[in-house]
Amino acid sequence: MRALAITSVKNEGPFLLEWLAHHRAIGFTDFLVFSNDCDDGTDAMLDRLQEIGWLTHVPNPGPWKEGPQWAALKQADAHPLVAQADWIAVIDVDEFVTIKTGDGTLDALIEAVPQATAFAMTWRLFGNCGVVAFEDRPVTQQFTRCAPPDMLWPWRASMFKTLFANIGAYAKLGVHRPRAPQDDKLAGTLWVDGSGRKLPPHYQRQKLFTPPGSAPYDFVQLNHYPLGSIEGYLVKYDRGRSNRRAGDFDMSYWVERNFSEVEDDSIRRHDAGTQDALTELSADPELTRLHNAAVLWRKERARTLLREEAYRGLFGRLLLCPPSRPLSPQAAKLMVRLAKAAATENP
């Protein structure tokens, strides 16, 4: 089976090797990585990783009409690796597929629900955990506390990314799900959540989140580390999101994601395989040099940003801000009702 992971990166050098090692360990065989406007040498790392046979790197310089990520996905639609893949997932470098069934591999997940053609892998939001300084340590080991499994609000806690069988049912890739459904192929598709439960038929064409409060994490969840350290968040804010212009991170982004309510160590089952892959990668001296240079760049960039009043002010507000508190059931249901009412009034 060929399983393809597709991602788009900018200044992600310190995190790239852990992400690659983890996903190679769980069974992804191919990686298609687009890069744009890198200042930390991520693009050079990707070139080196391509030289040693770990991935395919496609530079994606601007300008773009719809942002770098959408431009990358348009290129990926026509890439040979997509045509050759049996299964595909579009995931970011701060997202880690965590498989809980069988031996923890993609094969085990697919065997658990053999009739499924699309797994809606719901985010598990991992908070900042009080980490202030950026450190060159595995993200999955630094940030171990996350949102509770049945949180109704914010709605983004129920958003998913899709692992889907490449059977021609969709003509285009998307950030969260495949797009352009092909009517003659949809009858052969079955969408399930991360617990293997069948999702309603309209998921074949739309929807970006699983039913709120359904806790769909029995077989697979998507560990999402959107914040990281406070210093690292400043650099992320400075960079901007991959599918939007820079400057749209603020306190609301932080507050809606900084949940550290429960400990979740389910990703630890993958540690041995990930470490084996990291050991293989670290044996390459050039790759190690580039990784260390990216770490140094990130530390220096954080120090530079803290000399600016706007970033220093944001840094102070983040220090003041406690972890986000999940809403009470009553308040969460109120927010859901308000959202449904707004959707009805503004279809």
Confidence at 202, pLDDT banded by 50, 70, 90:
very high
pLDDT of residue 200: 96
DSSP-assigned letters across all residues of 216-245:
--SSEEEEE-----HHHHHHHHHH--TTS-
pTM: 0.95
Predicted local distance difference test score (pLDDT) of residue 249: 54
Mean local confidence (pLDDT), 336-342:
88
pLDDT at position 274, please?
Answer: 98
- The tokens describing 54, both together, are 């770990």
CA distances (Å), 111 to each of 18, 25, 100, 196, 221, in order? 26, 17, 13, 11, 16
Provide the terminal-to-terminal Cα distance of the chain, rounded to the nearest Å.
41
Average pLDDT score, the chain:
94
* 50: Cα within 13 Å, side-chain hemisphere: 14
How distant, in Å, are the alpha carbons of 27, 30, 77, 156, 170 from that of 83? 18, 12, 8, 31, 12
pLDDT in tens, 268-326: 999 999 999 999 999 999 999 999 999 999 999 999 999 999 999 999 999 999 999 99
* Rounded CA separation 167/321 (Å): 46
Burial class, 321, CB count within 10 angstroms (exposed 0-12 / middle 13-18 / buried 19+): middle
213 pLDDT more than 80: yes
Residues 89, 236, 251, 73, Cα dihedral to 10°:
-30
Average of per-residue pLDDT across 93-119: 98
Mean pLDDT calculated for residue range 153-179: 96
Average pLDDT over residues 209-213: 90
- β pairing state of 160-165 and 118-125: antiparallel
Neighbours of 198 (CB within 10 A): 13
**Alpha helices, H only, 27-164:** 42-51, 68-77, 80-84, 106-112, 139-142
Pair 125, 147: CB distance under 8 Å: yes
What is the pLDDT, as a whole number, of residue 203? 97
Give the mean model confidence (pLDDT) for residues 194-221. 95
Q: What's the number of CA atoms in the CB half-sphere (13 Å) around residue 165? A: 20
Interaxial angle between packed helices 42-51 and 13-26, expressed in degrees from 0 to 180 and rounded to the nearest 10 = 40
Our CA dihedral for 230, 233, 238, 244, rounded to 10 degrees, sits at: -160
Q: What pLDDT, on a 0 to 100 scale, did the predictor assign at position 65?
A: 87
Q: Which amino acid is at 89?
A: A
CB 277 within 8 Å of CB 26: no
What is d(CA 98, CA 123) in angstroms, rounded to the nearest whole number? 10
DSSP labels, 56-89: EEEE--S--SS-HHHHHHHHHHT-HHHHH-SEEE
Q: How many CB atoms lie within 10 A of CB 214?
A: 18
Q: How confident is the model at residue 25 (pLDDT cuts 50, 70, 90)?
A: very high
Res 346: pLDDT:
66
Measured distance CA(189)–CA(191) in Å, rounded = 7
Give the mean pLDDT of 27-40: 97
Strand partners, 30: 4
Yes or no: say if 180 and 170 are a contact pair by the CB < 8 Å rule.
yes
Residue 243 pLDDT exceeds 70: no
Rounded to 5 degrees, what are φ and ψ at 55?
-165, 175
